Amino acid sequence: MRLHIKRTWGLLLVLLVCQKTHAETKNYASLWPTGVFIGPITHNDEKWKYYFEPRLIVLNDRYGFGELHFYYGTGYQLAPNFTPYVGGAYFLSENTEGVISHENVIWQQFLWDISKTDFLKISNRSRLEERKNTLYSEWSARLREQITLKIPVKNTKYSLVTFEEGFFNLNHPSWVSDKFFAENRFFFGIGKELSKTANVDIGYINEIKLPRHDQEILNGLYIKINVSQ
């Protein structure tokens, strides 16, 4: 248990230290409605799972739209606390200059509940993404590592929730950042249990992007619905 906690905080520290300063920083307010829906594909074998994750990011720039993501896939629960998944995704994005991009994505991930007690819950999502921008011939590969901590508030349905996620580029085609550590997200907020299978997280999110030129920082409201069966 102590070893898991030390490794977790070590990863969080590495992600924070890796953040870099640039000559110019662009700041935007944002809104992040998100959902994650996981459930059995068939009741004959409930270890086979479907996975669906939609996300919208709205910015306060002159265009108002940031990103729209749809993840879909399937997985098999190998253990009560470990499930690998594979799937596809579609990204629609508009940068702050008004340039629209379309991406088709293949991804692989695992969800791992590292520790789960009455006092602390630690989980990890590791996701590998192979991305294809429709305007370019090159494929991009990146690794995403997210660590989530939940501290239940005793005798209530509420929890303190925080996560840190780092984005690591494994190659550098012309349409992505030329940096290995390309992006970081940090969230802190409140979670509430809605039912045995559903909960909602709401709070503050900070995203730092390190593109080829100016750094971008998004500060905003993050609202996430989780349904897992």
Percent of the residues in the chain that have a pLDDT greater than 90, as a whole number: 79
The closest of 216, 224, 219 to 25, measured between CA atoms, is: 216
| Average pLDDT over the chain, rounded to an integer | 91
Is-above-0.85 flag for pTM?
A: yes
pLDDT score for 99:
86
Under 8 Å between Cβ of 163 and 187: yes
CA angle 28, 126, 227 (to 5 degrees): 75
Fold of 2-228: Porin (2.40.160)
More confident: 215 or 87: 87
Q: Which tens digit of pLDDT belongs to each residue from 77-99? A: 999 999 999 999 999 998 878 88
pLDDT score for 20:
45
Q: How confident is the model at residue 6 (pLDDT cuts 50, 70, 90)?
A: low
The whole-angstrom separation of Cα 2 and Cα 223 is: 31
- Span of 4-13, 28-37, 49-58 with lowest mean pLDDT: 4-13
Distances (CA, A) of 154 to 148, 151, 197, 198: 19, 9, 19, 19
pLDDT score for 21:
45
- The predicted model gives 206-221 an average pLDDT of 92
